[in-house]
Amino acid sequence: MNTTPPASALREFPPVVSLMLNIGHGIDHMFLLIFATAVASIATDFDSNWADLMPYSAGAFLMFGLGALPAGRLGDLWGRRNMMLIFFFGMGASALLVALTQNSWQLAAALLVMGAFASIYHPVGIPMLVQNVHNPGEVIGMNGLAGNLGIAVAAILTGFLIKWAGWRAAFVVPGLLAFACGVIFALQCPRETVTPAKRSGKAKVALSSRTLARVFFVMTATAATSSILFNFTTSGNAQLLAESFRGVIEDPALLGALLALIYAVASLAQLVVGKLIDRVAFKPLQLWLSVAQIPFLIIAAYAEAWGMFAALLGVMILVFGSIPFTDAMIVRYVDDRLRSRVAGMRLTVAFGISSLAVWALGPLVKGIGFSALLWGMAGIAALKAAIVLLLPDEKSV
C-alpha cells in the first residue's frame, strides 16, 4: 500500500519559515553583489584597479550556476530543509572567509566558495516556498522582491560600511546575519518526513513530451539571456553610476544610496508581475516586458548624471520585473517531485553562460566603454524577446 501523502496533504510553512526563505533570497543576491559594490575599495587595498579585479569574481558566478545541478538533486532526494541549513551557514562562513583574504587569488578562491553555497538557494529555496500554495505567481513575486531588496541592501549597506569600517566589514556584518538566520530556520522549520522525490502530485498544466522539451528550451534560454542582463547590470551599475556622476557626486555612500533607491523601486515590479502571472496570459506579458527593455538600454547608452539615474531605473524595473517568469514556468509545468532538479538543470546552463558576463565586464568596459556595452545589452534583450515567441500559447496546451 502506498503511504506517501498526496500533495494536497502538505501544509504551508509557518510564517517565520516563509520569512526566513524570503530573507534567504535576499542574502543570496546581497552576498554576490557586495563585491561589485566594494570592488573599487578592494582594488585600492590590493594595489589594483576595479576593471582588472572584476574578473576574479567570475568563479563565484560560475559556481552559482554549476552548483545548482547537484543542489537541486540533493534538495529533491535528501530534503530541502537540510540543504537550506547548509545554505545559511555556508554563506555566513564564506563571507567571513572573503573578509580574511589578502590578495586577488585568495579573494577569487573565497568568492568561488561563496558562489558554491549561493547556488543552493534558487533550486531549493524557491521550490520549498511554493510547494502547495494556491497563488504561486504572487508568492514568487514577493520572493523576487525580497531577493532584489537584498541587492539594494548590498548597495547601501556596503557603501556605508566601507565609509565607516572598511570593505572587510561589508562582508563580516552580513555573514553574521546569515548565521543568525540559519539558527532561526533550524529552530522553526519542521523536519521533512517525506522528501520531495517521494511525494505524489501533478504539474498544474499537463504538456506533451515534445511541448515540454520546447518549454524547457525556452525556460533555459530566457533564463540565460535574463541572467546575462542581470549580471551585466547588477555587477556594473555601481561603476556606471559613479562614472556618469563624476564631478557631480563623488561620495561612495551617497552613490550607494542612489543605487539602492533604484533597486528598491525596481524590486516592486516583481510584486506587480507576480500578481499578473496568476491573472493574465503568460506569454504576451513576458514578451512585452522583454521588448520594453530595449529602448531604455539605448537611452542609458547616452545618458549622464540624473538622466542616467532615470534611464537606469527604467532598465532595472524591467530586468527585475522579468525575473519571476522562469520560476513561474517551473511551477506551472513541472510537478513538485522534480522541481528542484529541473530548476537546478536550467540554472546550471543559464548561470554557467551568464557568468561570462561577470568575467567580461571589466575588460569590455575597459576596451569599448559603457555606451557600446549598453548597446550590446539591448541586442541581448531583443534576442530574449525572440526566444519568448517560441513559448506555446496557453490555449494550445
Closest CA to 334 of 213, 227, 180, 186: 213
| 13 has a pLDDT exceeding 80 | no
As a whole number, the mean pLDDT across the chain is 80
| 371 has a pLDDT exceeding 60 | yes
User: If you average pLDDT over residues 96-117, what whole number do you get?
Assistant: 91
**Which grid coordinates are listed for 381?**
534583450
The 10s digit of each residue's pLDDT in 154-185 is 777 887 888 888 889 999 999 999 999 999 99
Nearest-angstrom CA–CA distance, 204 and 330 = 10
Give residue 198's pLDDT.
61
Structure confidence at residue 113 as a pLDDT band (50, 70, 90): very high
Q: What 8-state DSSP symbol labels residue 302?
A: T
Nearest-angstrom CA–CA distance, 198 and 162 = 48
The 10s digit of each residue's pLDDT in 229-282 is 877 787 777 778 888 888 777 777 788 788 888 888 888 888 888 778 777 777
Q: Which domains does the chain have, with CATH numbers?
A: 12-396 (1.20.1250.20)
DSSP for 306-375, written as a single string? HHHHHHHHHHHHHHHHTTHHHHHHHHHHS-TTTHHHHHHHHHHHHHHHHHHHHHHHHHHHHHHHHHHHHH
Say what percent of the chain tops pLDDT 90: 17
**Which grid coordinates are listed for 180?**
543568525
